[in-house]
Chains A and B, each alone.
Chain A
Amino acid sequence: MVKRAMQEATFLILTALAAGSQHGYAILTDVARISDGRVRLRAGTLYSALDRLRLDGLVAIDREEIVENRLRRYYRLTAEGGAELAAEAARLRDNAAAAFARLGGRAEGTGA
């Protein structure tokens, strides 16, 4: 079966976790930073995505902390999640390379 492209939100959440475990709010701010402010996830959307990623085995709970009487749960990328992210990143890189190659000089001034 042909594998479908990963949704952008999923890609960004996995990317946020690639450098180490993070708690929910840190993931939200990191996703906004990685996407240069273009993607701003809301809490409900994030937790729906984390639930699905945990079910798929791509993300796992790393640890819990209590900070200022609030529970903070940290999430980490699993080995399978890292492999999926790497495969998707490679696919995007190859597609981008093909697009830039065909655009030639027209890609100038796009920050590429």
Chain B
Amino acid sequence: MTDAAALERGYRRWLRWYPASFRREHEEELVGVLLAGSRAGQRRPDLAECLDLLRGALWMRVRPSVPSSRRQVFHAVRLLCFGAVVELAAAVTILATVGDVAARVPRGDPGLTDGQWHAVVAGHVEPKAVAAFVAVGFWLWMAWSVGRGRRWTRTAFALFFALNTWSLLDGLASGSAVYARADLAIGSLLWLIEVAALAAVLRLAPSPRVD
């Protein structure tokens, strides 16, 4: 396979992240632009190109179907996308701090047996990590829905906010060794973004549904 053919295949692989409607209209054109801007001998997309295409694909999937003169909608969608990014960082942080949490559990309750200790760590960390990854999808779904004027988004996001607030308070009230400092820091940041996003979503004027 020639360099150009390998590179084109690489670009097309990344373009799969875009919505089908966008690819139907722009894939051939965009591949031409990417190849025209590539370096001599380049065989695969570089990191910056991949991140740019990924960001473009994400935005094309959630971008509002309204003119940008409706700035409040764009503001809410950007905030929800930012929330998804921070939620992903929170999920990674939870996984990265499992060791810290595990080390703190015996200090919190030295009477635990090995089996109980494993159960405590697994019972707290794993559901939180899974929930955080699911929540990334939820944030993006909310962004998509807000951009299309779905009215139920307000209720859904308010419930999500209430659930997360309850979960955060419950975790703090129970003690708790089940949070590492980094988890608490990013959890607090995420909660603040949720407050801002909820305010932005509630502030939106009702608009006709746009598909």
Contacts and interface: CB of A to CB of B under 8 A. Distances in A.
B159 to A, nearest CB: 31
Given A42-B49, A43-B34, A43-B52, A24 B29 contact: yes
B85 interface: no
Contact of B32 (A46, A48, A70): A70
B59 interface: yes
A25 B60 contact: no
A44 B32 CA distance: 12
Nearest to B50: A44
B36 A25 contact: yes
Contacts of A44: 49, 52-57
B19 to A, nearest CB: 11
A45 B60 CA distance: 11
A55 B210 CA distance: 13
A72 B32 contact: yes
Contacts of B29: 23-24, 70-73
Contacts of A71: 28-29, 32
Interface in A1-27: 4, 23-25
Given A42-B48, A51-B63, A56 B33 contact: no
B2 interface: no
A91 interface: no
Contact of B28 (A42, A47, A70): A70
B28 A43 contact: no
Contacts of A43: 30, 33-34, 37, 49, 52-53, 56
Contacts of A24: 29-30, 32-33
B179 to A, nearest CB: 37
30 contacts: A23-B33, A24-B32, A25-B32, A28-B33, A42-B52, A43-B30, A43-B33, A43-B37, A43-B52, A43-B56, A44-B49, A44-B52, A44-B55, A44-B57, A45-B56, A46-B33, A47-B30, A48-B56, A48-B60, A48-B63, A51-B63, A52-B63, A55-B65, A56-B67, A56-B68, A57-B67, A70-B29, A71-B28, A72-B29, A73-B26
Given A44-B55, A45-B55, 15 more contacts: A4-B71, A23-B33, A25-B32, A25-B33, A25-B36, A42-B52, A44-B53, A47-B30, A48-B60, A56-B68, A56-B69, A70-B29, A70-B31, A71-B29, A72-B32
Interface of A: 4, 23-25, 28, 42-48, 51-52, 55-57, 70-73
